[in-house]
Amino acid sequence: MSRADASQRDGLEMILDWLDALRQGDLDAVQRLLTPDVVWYGLSPELVCAGREDVLEVLREQLPVRCDADALELLRAPNHVVMGTRSDHLPQPGGIELHGQVYNVFERRDGAFATIRDFTTRADALEAAGLAGRAEWV
């Protein structure tokens, strides 16, 4: 896919590509989904990956990723995508209580993810994506 085509892709389509690349262990596909200056902010200040190579190095150790989630939630926002994952198998970072869920907010720029931020609560993730106050599904 050319860069012009990639910039037109919907954020939800990009997240599905991201999940597929992680499941397949395809680092080349992951790389194409990240800007060179991507920053991934983890759940604590010491968990930060700065730059595509840093992110790829961390992911390399974890691939392929098994999808043993109980639920996934995907929300599109202007220039952002929120992905919520519910699972009893999430890694527990020291000193952080996940309550079986984690939220990632992906910021899109030029057809790739420029920033990824991790959150322990849906409310914080939605606020970061500009979706604060979004109504719950009924």
Question: Do the Cβ atoms of 108 and 96 come closer than 8 Å?
Answer: no
CATH 3.10.450.50 fits 3-128, yes or no: yes
Task: Please give the average per-residue pLDDT across 116-131, as a whole number.
Answer: 94
Residues 99 and 52: their CA atoms lie apart, in Å, by 29
Residues 108 and 11: their CA atoms lie apart, in Å, by 7
Residue 8 — very low, low, confident or very high, per pLDDT cuts 50/70/90? very low
pTM above 0.75, yes or no: yes
Which residues lie across from 72 on neighbouring strands? 85
